[in-house]
Amino acid sequence: AAELEALTKAYFDVFNAHDAAATAGTFSADGSLRDWDNAASGAAKIQETVGGIFKAVPEIKCNILNLAVDPAARRVTAELRIDLNPTDSILVADIFDFDAQGKITALRAYKG
């Protein structure tokens, strides 16, 4: 459980640094990212998609409220408050699936 929690926090560290390449690097070669606006598979498309998020929302920052880890499924559910700018935020749930090498195979994000 501690490994999966650390991997999830590492993802948010590079995301919050607005490093699209490093964020894409947390995914497996055939990993996928899906949220309410985007869907991308593979490192190049994920990097492009995340880079677009950083351009569209330049002050975006993810704040972890809670992590629920399922070690048997290698799955983490993260409850987040995402700050869009200093005055606006949204609540989001991210569901991460990890492979045995610690790479994200799927990340699904839901508002609410």
Name, in order, each residue with C-beta under 8 angstroms of 4's C-beta and a sequence gap of 6 or more: 69, 71, 74, 75, 76, 96, 98
Claim: this prediction has a pTM higher than 0.85: yes
- Ordered DSSP codes for 38-71: -EEESHHHHHHHHHHHHHHSTT-EEEEEEEEEET
Q: What is the pLDDT of residue 42?
A: 96
Helix (H, G, I), strand (E, B) or coil at 91: strand
Token code pair at residue 15: 């995301």
Q: For residue range 35-94, what is the model confidence (pLDDT) as tens digits?
A: 999 999 999 999 999 999 999 999 999 999 999 999 999 999 999 999 999 999 999 999
Is residue 6 very low, low, confident or very high in pLDDT (cuts 50, 70, 90)?
A: very high
The pLDDT of residue 74 is 98
Q: What are 83's two structure tokens?
A: 């700050």
pLDDT of residue 61: 98
What is the pLDDT, as a whole number, of residue 70?
98
Collapsing DSSP to helix, strand or coil, 12 comes out as helix
Q: Which two tokens stand for residue 88?
A: 């606006």
